């Protein structure tokens, strides 16, 4: 019998919150500091406070995450991995290496430390810390604490809003949007699918406020593609959660598409960028439509090529320090920076998490992964936790997959008379 009570409480399954422990508090402290140092590094606060501040905070985060793993993890192999990653990241920080390897090692440490942390609790901490840091940057910008002349591109006027590049503000806002809606939304599915039906906690007023904020970022920075991704996320949320129109159904076709979308879009953008021809009217028009992303992808692929184990790509997003060169596509950047082997691993992880979210009926996470797969074509955020908290759902998706499989086995067992 299908129960449709709005008063029912959600069943505690794979990600039920546990009692707060010292290790959990240690992780959340490290996560808040990690968010703060990321915002400092990508805003004018670094020039205002000094580069040593963000670097010191990153070292402190490494130490906190390592301590948390050593205190909470019983597996010797995971302890060794965490120590190796922490030492490697620390050495790269000391040597001030500019390669992408430091970000990957920090992500490994963060993932290991997040193993036993309820994902909803993680998203709440991420939401409030990111929101605080975002407001701190915007208030500092509005109060004249720092200022940078707006970027003028033909008929486009783009404000930096206190960040070192015009797109950083809208990019970080998307993660705030996801974390807020995920952390404070009830499950809208029925009890026979494993989760009781509850009234979503996010009100119409908050949804409208997020839509207005998304539009405000677009008007200030003229970031059309990022605005469209945010609008798509809110639109799918509105259909699934508010109108109860089921889009991400748990069936074989949906799970297949969820597993295929990340590698398929990766192959699409790599082939498209490789076929780019500078000076050709069609390709130049397509490049203008993508805001020069295809041309920059082509330059990166031709100048560096794809290596098995990756390489250091010299990029610059601060136009005051030289010519702009940045690989915006997350798929192309992963191939160039981390190499073919790690990129295949990253895509496999995302395919697994998306299918697990489908099987576990975690609708908000399904919406985010779908938007992320499309978003990674134009922007690089597939391994940046402050831009994409979805990467930290790995352990939760493992638990979710185990719960859904156990539930499926239970329903297949014959009922004893």
Confidence (pTM): 0.85
Q: How far apart are CA 373 and CA 107, in angstroms?
A: 19
Give the model confidence (pLDDT) of 146-176 as tens digits: 878 888 877 778 899 999 888 999 999 999 9
pLDDT of residue 315: 75
The pair of structure tokens assigned to 310 is 């990756």
Q: What's 60-110 look like in SS3? A: HHHHHHHHHHHHHCCCHHHHHHHHHHHHHHHHHHHCCCCCCHHHHHHHHHH
What backbone phi and psi angles, to 5 degrees, belong to 385? -60, -35
Q: Which residues of the chain have pLDDT under 50?
A: 1-18, 95-99, 188-199, 414-417
pLDDT of residue 410: 62
Give the model confidence (pLDDT) of 347-379 as tens digits: 999 999 999 999 988 999 999 999 999 999 988
Q: How far apart are CA 39 and CA 58, in angstroms?
A: 12
pLDDT of residue 16: 46
């Amino acid at each position: 019998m299908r129960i449709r009570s709005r008063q029912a409480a959600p069943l505690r399954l794979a990600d039920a919150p546990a009692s707060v422990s010292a290790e959990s508090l240690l992780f959340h402290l490290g996560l808040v500091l990690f968010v703060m140092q990321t915002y400092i590094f990508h805003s004018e606060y670094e020039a205002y406070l000094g580069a040593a501040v963000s670097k010191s905070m990153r070292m402190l985060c490494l130490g906190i995450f390592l301590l948390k793993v050593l205190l909470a993890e019983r597996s010797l192999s995971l302890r060794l991995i965490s120590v190796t990653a922490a030492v490697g990241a620390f050495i790269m920080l000391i040597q001030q290496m500019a390669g992408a390897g430091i970000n990957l090692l920090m992500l490994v440490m963060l993932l290991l430390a997040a193993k036993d942390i309820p994902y909803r609790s993680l998203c709440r901490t991420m939401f409030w810390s990111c929101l605080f840091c975002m407001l701190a940057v915007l208030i500092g910008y509005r109060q004249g604490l720092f200022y940078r002349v707006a970027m003028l591109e033909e008929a486009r006027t783009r404000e930096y809003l206190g960040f070192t590049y015009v797109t950083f503000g809208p990019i970080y806002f998307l993660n705030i949007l996801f974390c807020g809606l995920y952390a404070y939304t009830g499950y809208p599915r029925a009890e026979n699918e494993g989760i009781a039906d509850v009234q979503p906690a996010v009100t119409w007023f908050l949804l409208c406020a997020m839509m207005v904020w998304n539009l405000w970022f677009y008007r200030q920075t003229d970031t059309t593609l990022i605005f469209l991704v945010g609008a798509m996320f809110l639109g799918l949320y509105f259909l699934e959660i508010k109108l109860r129109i089921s889009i991400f159904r748990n069936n074989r076709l949906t799970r297949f598409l969820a597993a295929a979308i990340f590698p398929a879009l990766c192959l699409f953008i790599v082939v498209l960028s490789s076929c780019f021809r500078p000076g050709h009217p069609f390709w130049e028009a397509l490049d203008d439509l993508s805001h020069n992303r295809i041309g920059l992808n082509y330059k990166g692929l031709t100048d560096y090529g794809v290596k098995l184990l990756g390489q250091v790509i010299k990029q610059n997003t601060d136009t005051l320090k030289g010519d702009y060169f940045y690989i915006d596509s997350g798929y192309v950047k992963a191939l160039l920076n981390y190499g073919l082997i790690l990129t295949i691993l990253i895509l496999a992880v995302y395919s697994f998490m998306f299918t697990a979210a489908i099987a576990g009926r975690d609708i908000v996470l399904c919406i985010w992964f779908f938007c992320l797969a499309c978003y990674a074509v134009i922007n690089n955020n597939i391994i940046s936790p402050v831009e994409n908290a979805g990467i930290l759902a790995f352990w939760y998706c493992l638990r979710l997959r185990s719960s859904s499989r156990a539930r499926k086995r239970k329903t297949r067992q014959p009922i004893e008379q």
